[in-house]
Homo-oligomer: A and B are copies of this chain.
Amino acid sequence: MSRLDSVIRRLRAQRACLNMAQGLVAGIPGPLLELGLGNGRTFDHLRSLFPDREIFVFDRQVAAHPDCVPDDKHMIIGDIRETLPAALSRIGAPAALAHADIGTGDPAVNAEIAVFLGRALPGLMAPGALILADRSLAMTGWKELGLPSGVRRGRYFVYRRT
């Protein structure tokens, strides 16, 4: 499998999980959280799925296509290890959905971020909320859901607050 194969597989898994989430959070009020703006593609997909929701995006810097950058109110710039724990007042209400695709090329950093997210994210989330992530998160009081058709177990992770 080439890296081209791999990225196609990863992006399709990501899209399938986001699309599945659209229905699953329909009855859950609250904004959405996107951790990592990157080039803005996933943010663009989220806003197409959830045109009536506020979406708050966290990233170290803004490097996305200008069409895919949230306004200043919804773009929270900085290291998520600092911005996320303090975010509840900024986002205004517990979130219905968080999506975290922030893997770096460094496995040690990825593992550290996963530990951080497992601790910091739940405090921002509403009852019944979903967390989607490109890696496994250790959280109590959350159930790992089955993945959409065509997405192999372990390729993406969908958690629901029980």
Contact = CB atoms under 8 A, between A and B. Distances in A.
Interface residues of A, number: 24
B5 A15 contact: yes
Most buried by B among A18, A44, A105: A44
A157 to B, nearest CB: 18
A11 interface: yes
B11 A15 contact: no
A3 B68 contact: yes
A11 B12 CA distance: 11
Contacts of A41: 2-4, 6-7
Interface of A: 1-8, 11-12, 14-15, 18, 39-42, 44-45, 47-48, 65, 68, 105
Smallest CB-CB A-B distances: 3 pairs = A4-B45, A2-B45, A3-B44
